[in-house]
Structure 1
């Protein structure tokens, strides 16, 4: 029992970070499942984190209220910016959402009286418990699983395959894109709330371009053909740097090499159900 307690005291933040990163990977998986390369999830995470932290620190809001506000604020923001940006596609949408992320960072830096500016917010109440993270991941996975198998999920898939054909079939492409964008923002905001109330501190640099690339990498690395892939990618990208601490200053180099090798030899991600079916089919034929 003491061994487990020692492990938890040392690695509890890392274990809980696995859950928040899984939520972030699922948030961008949702937009990718609708054929949108939107890179605003780091900014949405920051909006959720700052909203909940300000409510907790300045107004003494209960944690459930902070969670609800931390999800609602980025969702509302996504709805507002989605009107003009979702008319774009591909790299243009990625550029527009990246620019939005930079706007959010600059606003946070300049609103010093509210956000702490470059110094960030320190002393956020540690309200996040392990079961909060576990429950959030389970509920989000269940909701996305049901969504994927619903009429809306099938519409997402049709839009991803061919947006024009989906429109000709009677699917409201704009409304479905907006739905995926808003839901993804809410999930990213939830991850921001849990992370902010876990680490005591948040700063504007935590939600910049680097974090956005990390979120996308988690999803693509794990695989976008199922819900297991983003979670797996989030776990790998969280654990890998810690597992490579023995390499010292070369840790980031080894980490990068491993990621490049995975992308080269597993272009559809680690979790690819089609590859597994093909592999097991060959094994069965050989038997």
Structure 2
């Protein structure tokens, strides 16, 4: 198993990043599944990362408790800002949540005694193991699968299709949207807390506009028609830059072209359940003849 040890020593951070990015993609999938274009997930990731890192570095809190803190803090913030913010919709909601992300970034920059300001936090204990990330992704997929098939999941779908009609059918629209927003914040915070204890260092620029767009791209690229879609998108968007590393300066250009081609020819994402059903059905018919 020497080859595996060599592989793991070089690529362990990349493999674990696949899991944390999958959690981030699933966090924004929750709000998209409820018809909301909320762009606060990068900020929630930052809140979770800094909360967990401060707890372990400054207060020597155990890793499991720090993870709980990293999930609880963004949930609380999401609950507070969600009440007024989720009255907006579409582009206005996206703009408001992007503004919130900028507020979080400026807050981190101006609280140097806690966060290290522009220099970030160094010396975070590297306590994230592969099974922490694997278990988090597995549990998240199972819970979201059950959620989607539950009454709450059907309410998400109803609001996404027609918010007014959903309200007339007895769905508590405001509280259901708030629930999706808070659960998305929880997942983003968990991803941030795990990532902070994986990379040894975190800084405020890691959780800005670019990261928010990247999280959204993962989900749209994979497809929001199923829970597997965001995971597929996260894997592709994480691995693609590494696979194109040999192209040096042209790597980002090729990366962008590939993403554009996927969006043009697969508008519903790579993992589209309806397209796959048609494909399997056609194959079955062809095999039958």
Q: What TM-score bracket applies, with the shorter chain setting the length?
A: over 0.9
Quote the residue 1:257 is aligned against: 257
| Uncovered stretches (5+) of structure 1, i.e. residues with no partner | none
How much has 1:284 moved relative to structure 2? 3.1
Q: How far apart in 2 are the matches of 1:143 and 1:96?
A: 29
CA–CA separation in structure 2 for the residues paired with 1:245 and 1:125: 29
The CA deviation string for residues 40-67 of structure 1, in whole angstroms up to 9 with x for no partner, is: 0000000000000001000000001100
**Residues 14-25 of structure 1 mapped to structure 2, 5 A cutoff:** 14-25=14-25
1:95 paired residue number: 95
**CA offset at residue 264 of structure 1?**
0.2
SS in 1 for 2:58: helix
Residue 133 (structure 1) aligns with: 133
Cα distance in 1 for partners of 2:225, 2:272 equals: 6
Residues in 2 aligned to 1:195 and 1:281: alpha-carbon distance in whole angstroms: 41
Alpha-carbon distance between aligned partners in 2 of 1:130 and 1:282, rounded to the nearest angstrom: 39
Distance in 1 separating the partners of 2:278 and 2:134 = 33
CA distance in 2, matches of 1:284, 1:62: 53
Task: Quote the residue 1:10 is aligned against.
Answer: 10
SS in 2 for 1:59: coil
d(CA) in 2 for partners of 1:161, 1:281: 27
Task: Tell me what 2:191 maps to.
Answer: 191
Pairwise CA distance, 1:278: 1.3
Residues in 1 aligned to 2:276 and 2:193: alpha-carbon distance in whole angstroms = 36
The residue number in structure 2 matching 1:180 is: 180
Q: Which residue of 2 aligns with 1:31?
A: 31
The TM-score, its normalising length taken from structure 2, stands at 0.98
CA distance in 1, matches of 2:6, 2:228: 30
Q: What CA deviation, in whole Å up to 9, does each residue of 1:208-242 have, x standing for no partner?
A: 00000000000000000001100000000000000
Report the secondary structure of 1:45's partner residue.
Answer: helix
Structure 1 runs of 4+ aligned residues shifted over 2 Å read 280-287
Task: Output the CA distance in 1 between the equivalents of 2:3 and 2:246.
Answer: 22
Q: Distance in 1 between matches of 2:280 and 2:32?
A: 28
Partner of 1:120: 120
Q: Show structure 2 runs of 5+ residues with no match.
A: none
SS of corresponding position for 1:202: coil
Task: After TM superposition, give the deviation of residue 31 of structure 1 in Å.
Answer: 0.5
Show the 5 A alignment for 1:92-241. Answer: 92-241=92-241
Q: How many residues are aligned here?
A: 287
Which secondary structure does the structure 2 equivalent of 1:254 belong to?
helix
1:243 aligns with 2:248: no
Q: CA deviation at 1:80?
A: 0.3
CA distance in 1, matches of 2:69, 2:57: 14
Deviation at 1:129, TM superposition (A): 0.4
Task: Tell me how far 1:285 sits from its aligned partner.
Answer: 3.4
Look up the match of 1:74. 74
CA positional deviation for 1:281: 2.3
Partner SS for 2:156: helix
Report the equivalent of 1:284.
Answer: 284
Shift of residue 279, structure 1, vs aligned partner: 1.8
Q: Distance in 2 between matches of 1:70 and 1:279?
A: 42
Match of 1:55 in 2: 55
Q: CA deviation at 1:280?
A: 2.2
Q: CA RMSD in A?
A: 0.6
